Structure 1
Amino acid sequence: MNHLSPEMRTCIENCLTCYSECLSMAMGHCLEMGGKHTEPKHFKLMMACAEICRTSAHFMLIGSEHHRHTCRECAEICRQCAADCERVGDMQSCVDACRKCAESCEKMAA
């Protein structure tokens, strides 16, 4: 990763952390809780968020100039996911990871 800027390294870390957090929270916490935690719209948003985070990290790691597009989309989905996880409640670690990822992706998309 030595060819990457410090900002990009941070963004990759934040994306991978958010990917891991959304996936493990959805598959563990949400599935166990049920109810509003497994509403299709919420659950699909968490899966979409995990996937775009993974994709954005991947694009940055391979040095694709298209990372600006994936990062822009990633920031948008992360913001939606953070808001929805806050609405559902009891998911603060996911909210925090999504917000942190959104912030760094917004910088990469600029």
Structure 2
Amino acid sequence: MEALPYLSPELLVDPEAHTPATDMWAMGVILYELMALRTPWEDEHAVRLLERIRDQPLRPLPVQYSEELAPICYTLLKRNPQSRPSADELLLLPPIQSRIVSLLDMESDDVAAG
């Protein structure tokens, strides 16, 4: 049952439908879990859990995170796989790009400092 909370809705319909979009869904579940300290949908019974993943609206994330992070998580958890970003598209989102630039700047400062 440990893997069930990470299954995308399309995998509930067709277990062979694994695509990069299903991986992006799982990344969204992991991000949500890191932010909320619980998975987006929970139930002790497997069938009900899968029904919740398929049908239940996503609970809002805690508000203590940046305004940029929650929308990324919500985008990764769109039920329609075509609406989820690819890994390349995710890396091009402005909040992600700004963090990449910041990290690269820090690295170049470290290299320059020796």
Q: Which one has a larger percent helix, Structure 1 or Structure 2? A: 1
TM-score bracket, normalised by the shorter chain, equals 0.3 to 0.5
Question: Which has the higher relative contact order, 1 or 2, with Cα contacts under 8 A spaced 6 or more apart?
Answer: 1
With normalisation by structure 1, the TM-score equals: 0.36
With normalisation by structure 2, the TM-score equals: 0.36
